[in-house]
Amino acid sequence: MIKRTLAFTNPYHLRLKNRQMIISVKGDSEPYASVPVEDIGFVILENQEISISLPLLNALTDNNVVVIVCSDKFMPNAMFMNLSANSTQGESFRAQLSAAEPLKKNLWKQIVEAKIRNQAALLSKLGKDGDALKPYYQNVKSGDSGNSEGTAARLYWSELFDRSFQRSREGSCPNELLNYGYTILRAAVARALAGSGLLPSIGIFHRNRYNPFPLADDIMEPYRPFVDEIVFSLYANGENCLNKYSKSEILKLLYADTFFENVTRPLDIGLSMTTASLVKCYNGMQKKILYPMLR
């Protein structure tokens, strides 16, 4: 079942009644709308005057709903997640924590290959030179010791936008659009990891001590081009900043088609397939992480 994404830009009051999220306009006695909690996957709280009840927060986290809180600049700033979203997570934790270095290097090699392949596929889809990235995804070394990811990225961004574009969290547009999309993607990956019984705080490659979700940053890499495709379309059509329209278009990311070998699934479900395959890699049940191919 595809879960709903609810983004609140007005100062609503949100509470729980009969397993429903009750949405009310502050000051009104009658509810504005209601949504079954079990139908929700993501809740994004943008307006600084929103109020939400603790019983509703608990019901949302019990259902593995990611609740994202935005700053006064409307950028995602924090999120709530269930700490026990999987009944066998203890077993998965132990396998994850005991993963040997050769396994992690092999997993990172696969991640980098899949990322560059999807970057190349996006360039080709947009009528650009995707073949220029072919040597990079075909020659990734164990642990990406040759830094194919970084070298390919420089070529990718100059080809996707232009040679003057620099990808940076603080850079000029369309960086702001990319930042928003990647933050939403990161939250979705963290949710999928928790649902598969993995610790988002224990990464494969990313290891910054101040990063609470390094594994999410690892696993999301091949999914980034799905964000890039939406942002490219927005930017090409004159959308240069975050607004209600651009954010709503970026949120469609969660329902984008992802193409696996024998099946097509919405991205949100595709993430769960990827994280479930990672559990099997940690447990020695398979050697390959399942990633979709961008088409």
Q: Over the stretch 123-134, which tens digit does the pLDDT of each residue have?
A: 999 999 999 999
Residue 137 lies inside a defined structural domain of this protein: yes
Cross-strand pairs, 34:
22
Query: HSE on the CB side for 96, CA within 13 Å?
Result: 23
What is the number of domains present in the chain?
2
Q: Is residue 84's pLDDT more than 70?
A: no
* Per-residue model confidence (pLDDT) at position 83: 66
Q: Are 155 and 65 in the same domain?
A: no
**Residue 252 domain flag:** yes
Query: What was the pLDDT predicted at 166?
Result: 86
- Vertex 140 angle, CA 226 and 231, to 5°: 15
pTM: 0.88
Domain identity same for 275 and 130: yes
Q: Do 134 and 210 lie in a common domain?
A: yes
Token output for 172: 């000029």
pLDDT above 80: residue 88: no
Q: Are 213 and 187 in contact (CB under 8 A)?
A: no
Angstrom distance (rounded) from CA 294 to CA 259: 7
Asked whether residue 289 is assigned to any structural domain, the reply reads no
- In the numeric block, which tokens belong to residue 20? 């429903």
Q: Does residue 10 belong to any structural domain of this protein?
A: yes
Same domain, 61 and 187: no
Q: Are residues 55 and 116 in the same domain?
A: no
SS (H, E, C) the chain: CCCEEEEECCCEEEEEECCEEEEEECCCCCCCEEEEHHHEEEEEECCCCCEECHHHHHHHHHCCCEEEEECCCCCEEEEECCCCCCCCHHHHHHHHHCCCHHHHHHHHHHHHHHHHHHHHHHHHHCCCCHHHHHHHHHCCCHHHCCCHHHHHHHHHHHHHCCCCCCCCCCCCCCHHHHHHHHHHHHHHHHHHHHHCCCCCCCCCCCCCCCCCCHHHHHHCHHHHHHHHHHHHHHHHCCCCCCCHHHHHHHHHHHHCEEECCCCEEEHHHHHHHHHHHHHHHHCCCCCCCCCCECC
Domain at 258, CATH number: 1.20.120.920
Whether residues 31 and 107 fall in one domain: no
Quick one: 117 and 38 in the same domain?
no
Q: Is residue 292 part of a domain?
A: no
Residue 291 lies in a domain: no
Residue 7 confidence (pLDDT): 93
Please check whether residues 118 and 215 belong to one and the same domain.
yes
Note whether 142 and 265 are same-domain residues. Answer: yes
- The string of pLDDT tens digits covering residues 208-237 is 666 778 999 999 999 999 999 999 999 999
- What pLDDT shows up at residue 125? 97
Residues 121 and 162 in one domain: yes
User: Do residue 268 and residue 125 come from a single domain?
Assistant: yes
Residue 26 in tokens: 């502050």
Domain end residue (candidates: 46, 80, 114): 80
In a domain, 288, yes or no: no
Q: What is the pLDDT of residue 163?
A: 82
Q: Find the CATH number of the domain harbouring 45.
A: 3.100.10.20
Q: 137-168, pLDDT tens digit by residue? A: 999 999 999 999 999 999 999 999 988 888 88
- Asked if the structure places residue 249 within a domain, the reply is yes
Question: Which domain, by its residues, includes 35?
Answer: 4-80
Which of 45, 80, 115 is at the close of a domain? Answer: 80
Do residues 45 and 157 share a domain? Answer: no
Residues 284, 159: Cα–Cα separation, whole Å: 39
- Pairwise CA distance, residues 251 & 229, whole Å: 13
Write down which residue in 53, 80, 107 finishes a domain.
80
pLDDT value of residue 21: 97
The CA–CA distances, whole Å, from 98 to 19, 89, 108, 197, 276 equal 39, 14, 16, 15, 17
